[in-house]
Amino acid sequence: MTTVLIVDDSPMDRRLVAGILERNSDWTIRSAIDGMEAMASIVEAQPDLVVTDMQMPHMNGLELVTALRQQFPQIPVVLMTAQGSEELAVKALRAGAASYVPKRALAMDLQPTVRRVLTAATDIRSQVALMNRLEQRRETYRIETELPLVMALSRHVQHELGEAWGLEKTDRLRIGTALEEALLNAFYHGNLDISSDLKDTDYAEFYALAERRCREAPYTERRIQLDFEVTPIVASIAIRDEGRGFNPDTLPDPTDVENLDKPSGRGVMLMRAFMDDVVYNETGNQVTLTKRRYKQ
């Protein structure tokens, strides 16, 4: 049975989050009122995942992520962000959190985000073989604009890099999250040419339009190319779509905490928080993610 621990000092918010997560009958939901109570609960019975608020007394979300990173690095953390907690959330992502969901979008995004993180964590636990030696590996994929292929490719590259470097679960999850965001951007905003503004204004229509375009020309004719290269020191992942592109200069600054709650900046924020370099080409239809094995 999968156990999710909710950490929030607001009884109303704890009930709200529990109600959202309890829609999945396979999950056991526990709760704590702050980071200190959460740590005691985790020592007693380690959950599979923690969902935490950022602003709490005694031990806030950032302090909880830091403590978990040190004592229980195998437990992924999903942050819940609200206005006024953006700066803490950015620091928590850099400290080791696996993902985040704005509180205003909990009803739509929390359960899918938790499910994706749990699935990735389960995949990592099942990967027991390690590569003992590696000089260089290069792989190139060119896939159709089909969501199952996109997700399979994301998990494959995450697995290959994690195995090549012998990464622990949290580091694999962070790399996987960055890679998944880049591939989903290429899928939805690149090849399907759907604006992120639509998701913010009409969540259902965003995905309905994506489903329609997956069956229509010219979208069905477009491909996503991924070039992956890894050495013992550095990994490079270039993702290119066949959409019309965009001007990368128009992207909101993902390092500005005021943009943390904007849908158009979430993917870039996660990519830049979890990778060492994120570089777009001039036409905006290719992004290159670089990760160094050792901090410089």
Q: How do residues 221-265 score in pLDDT, each as one tens digit?
A: 999 999 999 998 899 999 999 999 888 877 766 556 665 565 556
Average pLDDT estimate for 17-33 = 91
Contact 136, 230 (CB under 8 A): yes
The pLDDT value given to residue 273:
87
In a domain, 130, yes or no: no
Q: Does residue 160 sit in the same domain as residue 268?
A: yes
Going by pLDDT thresholds of 50, 70 and 90, the confidence category of residue 131 is very low
**Among the listed residues 168, 132, 4, 158, the one whose alpha carbon sits nearest the alpha carbon of residue 78:** 4
**Residue 24 is part of a domain; what is its CATH number?**
3.40.50.2300
Per-residue confidence band for 124, with pLDDT thresholds at 50, 70 and 90: low
Spatial strand order of the sheet with 77-81 comes to 27-32, 2-7, 49-53, 77-81, 99-102
CATH number where 241 lies: 3.30.565.10
Q: What is the CA radius of gyration of the chain?
A: 19
Helices (H), 45-146: 61-71, 86-95, 106-125
| Longest Cα separation, the chain | 56
Do 100 and 232 sit in the same domain of this protein?
no
Tokens of 165: 């470097």
Contacts of 27 (CB under 8 A, 6+ apart): 1, 2, 3, 4, 21
CA 95, 98, 99, 103 torsion-angle sign: negative
pLDDT of residue 129: 36
Stretch among 20-34, 73-87, 225-239 having the lowest mean pLDDT: 73-87
Give how many domains the chain has, as a whole number: 2
Rounded percentage of the chain residues whose pLDDT exceeds 70: 90
Asked, for residue 131, whether it belongs to a domain, the answer is no
234-240 vs 223-230, strand pairing mode: antiparallel
**Token reading at 122:** 């389960």
Do 102 and 178 share a structural domain?
no
Q: Is 0.75 topped by the overall pTM?
A: no
The answer to whether residue 132 sits within a structural domain is no
Quote the mean pLDDT of the chain: 88
* DSSP β-ladder status, 2-7 and 49-53: parallel
> What is the DSSP-derived secondary structure letter of residue 221?
G
Tokens for 290, please give them. 């670089």
Closest residue by Cα to residue 53 from 82, 21, 20: 82
The reply to whether 142 and 281 lie within a common domain is: yes
Residue 260 belongs to what domain range? 137-292
Residue 273 pairs in a beta bridge with none
Over residues 186-199, the mean pLDDT reads: 91
